Amino acid sequence: MSWSEGTRSGRRSLQVKFVSDEDVLRHIADDTGIKVRKDKAQLSVSVKRFVKKLENVSDNEAQEILEEKNYVAALGICAQDPMGSGSNISGGEVYSFQTPKRSNKMAELASELAQTPEKNVAPDHSKCLEKTAKTPQSIFSLLFQNKKKEFVSTTPYRLRKRLAASDPCLESESEYSASCSEEEDEEDQKEVNTVLSDQKTPAKTKAASTPPPRNSLSKKIKEQKMGNLVEEYFEAHSSSKVLTSDRTLQKLRKRRLNQQTLHGLLKNVPLVYAAEIRDLNQQHESLFSKWMLQLHLGFNIVLYGLGSKRDLLEKFRTSLLQDSVHLVVNGYFPSITVRSILNSITEEVLDHIGTFRSPLDQLEFITKRFKEDSSLELYVLIHNLDSQMLRGERSQQILAQLSSLPSIYLIASIDHINAPLMWDQAKLSLYNWLWYETTTFHPYVEETSYENSLLVQQSGSLALSSLMHVLHSLTLNARGIFRLLAQHQLEKKDNPSYPGLSFQDFYQQCREAFLVNSDLTLRAQLTEFRDHKLIRTKRGADGVEYLLIPVDDSTLTDFLEKEDDDV
């Protein structure tokens, strides 16, 4: 180090410094980039620096993983487990701090995955280098086409934004969107630049132009902020800026699927790797009698792992529990409560008629009965013990106490990644779990069917029928009023910041259509609508009352069509 300094200053003022090995190491590790730049300043190839840095990063990475391994080994979690379960990876891999920020990451990965239909993807350095070096355009061009299209589509929207009325909340949101689009713009611009420069200097940038997808920018960011991951986390979460594209499903012009069609479609999809999944399940099924044994010895069993465990438990039930009293609880059922579980025990198993003041009383009763009568025994199967309705502290406490009874045998399944957090030490010791990994890869058909899913048009048909029902009981004028509002709302459906129709405007329109004759009649009508939850009113910033139908646009369209048919 002192040597390089010496050469730079032309040997005029030679400085001798004692530098500790650590410092030297740190210097080399940290400042490689700078050093390289100094050495080859005239070349001004920052790209090279980037590559260097990248190698450092991966070295550090390796080091880090090594350290993690050591730590894990120290914890004794790393006891040899060559076959067994898939749980011999370090926690660092699972709970990682990877911080990809570019919005087109996903598309990138997708195209990469898609690009190699036959060969398997292996994003290690050398392979990727070659691959992407050969066809860099194909990836980016694909990407850019997508992006370009999108920008075109967003421009009028941004124009509209300026015209839009001033709903504070919506306003700010649209600002985010706009700004994010701009940022994206810049980013793409950058991308283009790099690509261009790559093409100009193909010899040098062969390596640089093709950063392996996972290791490029995100790694750099990671390296820079390695010191304070926690700070980084909060920093990243403090800003509410969202860097995603602004596309919506509606623009995709794809009809929303409802539950039935979804089921129909999925029925036609063949189950992939059926043979392997069957093998996997057979392995689990061979454990059934062991489960029974362990249940009888006072343990309770919890199943975890990817894939629906419903079929497995069902098979367990039909094969082993046929001649004993058992209770099946579908935890994923949206209206399940602990109370209903307790009720079915007291009413159906214990044949007790009468009510209880609180679940605790009920539990006490059950405990007493089971302690008194040693011949009573009950198997409880709970699908999804971690479901929305059962994951509460009190429910879990009651279930844990129930399961701690010696003649109640509980076998349950969990799916949520944070499910074990439900239980503290006290509950865990009550449950007395034995964990079994049962990865089945079965689709969660039943479990997700109740969920108000994101993409499924769930409430659509229901909302429409109830809308029709209510409207049919109203007078013709009232229907006309509602129709007017709906039409107006549909006209403005492309404007996401549409606040609703202001009362004054609405009154004007109603008057023009000879639907009402005074302010008061309209108000009375609106009150009736509001009581039936047909409309929602909210006050804008300027104190004006805005009216809105809280139904999505497609339902509204359907409704208007139906109305037209009627009329």
Partner 1 sequence: GCFVFKPSSKKRRWSEKTAHDFRSASSDSEDTELRFVTCQSLWNQIKSETEQIQEDLNKQLLDNLMSFLSRSHSNFQEKTAEWTCRMKFREIPTAALVLGVNVTDHDLTFRGLSDVLQDNITPYVALLEAKDCSGIKNLMQKLMGQLMNCDIDVDSLEDEDCVQVSPNRIRCSMPSLISWYDSATKKTDSGTPSKKRNSSSRHWQSPPVVVIFKDIESFTTKVLQDFIVISSQHIHELPLVLIFGIATSPMIIHRLLPHSVSSLLCIELFQSLSCKEHLSTIIDKLLLTSQFPFKLGEKVLQVLINIFLYHDFSVKNFIKGFQLCIVEHFYSQPLSVLCCHLVDIKKRVYSLSHDQCENIRRLLSFRRYVEKQESGKQIELLTNDSALKGETEKLLEDLHVYHENYISILRCLHVFTSSLPKYPLGKQIRELHCACLENRVWETEEYESSLQLARMLNKTDLVTMLQQCVGILVSSSGKEFDKTVEKLKEFLTQFQKLEEASQERDVSVSSQKELQKKTDLYHLQKTLLELKESRKSKKLTKFEMLRFEVVDYIDSLVRKYLVPADDRTLHEIVYFNTAAVLRGHLNAAPRTALHTALNNPYWYLKNQALKCDGGGISNKAPDICIVYKLHLECGRLINLVDWLEAFSTVVMAAEEPVADAASSDQVDDIIHARFIRAVSELELLGFIKPSKQKTDHVARLTWGGC
Q: Give the contact letters, 238-257, x = binds to partner 1 (CB under 8 A), - = no.
A: --x-xxxxxxxxxxx-x--x
Considering the rule CB under 8 A, would residue 490 count as an interface residue with partner 1?
no
Are the beta carbons of 174 and 496 closer than 8 angstroms? yes
Residues 364-383 that bind partner 1 (CB under 8 A): 375, 377
Instruction: Give the integer Cα–Cα distance in Å for 206 and 18.
Output: 40
Task: Between 181 and 205, name the residue whose CB sits nearer to partner 1.
Answer: 181
Among 4, 8, 59, 86, binds partner 1 (CB under 8 A): 86
Q: Which stretch binds partner 1 (CB under 8 A): 61-69, 109-117, 187-195, 556-564?
A: 109-117
Say whether residue 455 binds partner 1 (CB under 8 A): yes
Select from 438-446, 480-488, 501-509, 520-528 the region that touches partner 1 (CB under 8 A). Answer: 438-446
Query: Does position 115 bind partner 1 by CB under 8 A?
Result: yes
| Number of separate helices (H) and strands (E) present in the chain | 24, 8
55, 437, 494, 561: residue in contact with partner 1 (rule CB under 8 A): 437
Task: Please report whether residue 355 would count as binding partner 1 according to CB under 8 A.
Answer: no
Binding mask 197-216 toward partner 1 (x if CB under 8 A, else -) reads -----------------x--
Under the criterion CB under 8 A, does residue 294 sit at the interface with partner 1? yes
The residues in 307-336 that bind partner 1, with binding defined as CB under 8 A, are: 307, 317, 321-331, 333, 335-336
Beta-bridge mates of residue 501: 547
Comparing C-alpha atoms, which of 370, 375, 355 is closest to residue 404? 370
Rounded Cα gap, residues 305 and 314, in angstroms: 16
Q: CB of 284: closest distance to partner 1 in angstroms?
A: 11
**Residue indicated by tokens 């679940």:** 359
Between CA 281 and CA 441 the distance in angstroms is 9
Residue 334 vs residues 312, 314, 358, 450: alpha-carbon distances, Å = 21, 20, 22, 7
Q: Which of 27, 53, 69, 105 binds partner 1 (CB under 8 A)?
A: 105
Are 278 and 388 in contact by the 8 Å Cβ rule? The answer is no
Residue in 94, 203, 476, 567 binding partner 1, rule: CB under 8 A: 94
Residues 528-557 binding partner 1 (CB under 8 A) are: none
Nearer to partner 1, 50 or 299 (CB): 299
Q: Is 359 in the site for partner 1 (CB under 8 A)?
A: no
- Choose which of 109, 165, 217, 548 interacts with partner 1 (CB under 8 A): 109
Q: Determine if 129 is a binding residue for partner 1 (CB under 8 A).
A: no
Q: Is 280 in the site for partner 1 (CB under 8 A)?
A: yes
Q: Are 97 and 232 in contact (CB under 8 A)?
A: yes
- Which helix (H) or strand (E) segment holds residue 141: the answer is helix 136-163
The CB-of-261 to partner 1 minimum distance in angstroms stands at 8
Helices within 164-258 (DSSP H only): 168-200, 217-224, 229-238
CA distances from 373 to 296, 365, 368, 407 (A): 17, 12, 9, 10
Neighbour tally for 476: CB within 10 Å:
9
266 near partner 1 (CB under 8 A): yes
- Classify burial at 147, counting beta carbons within 10 Å of its beta carbon; exposed 0-12, middle 13-18, buried 19 or more: buried
Q: Is 106 in the site for partner 1 (CB under 8 A)?
A: yes
| Of residues 166 and 244, the one with the C-beta less far from partner 1 | 244
In whole angstroms, the minimum distance from the beta carbon of 100 to partner 1 comes to 5
Asked whether the beta carbons of 389 and 383 are under 8 A apart, the reply is: no
The upper half-sphere exposure of residue 389, i.e. CA atoms within 13 Å in the direction of its Cβ, equals: 18
**Which residues, numbered 13-52, are part of the site for partner 1 (CB under 8 A)?**
none
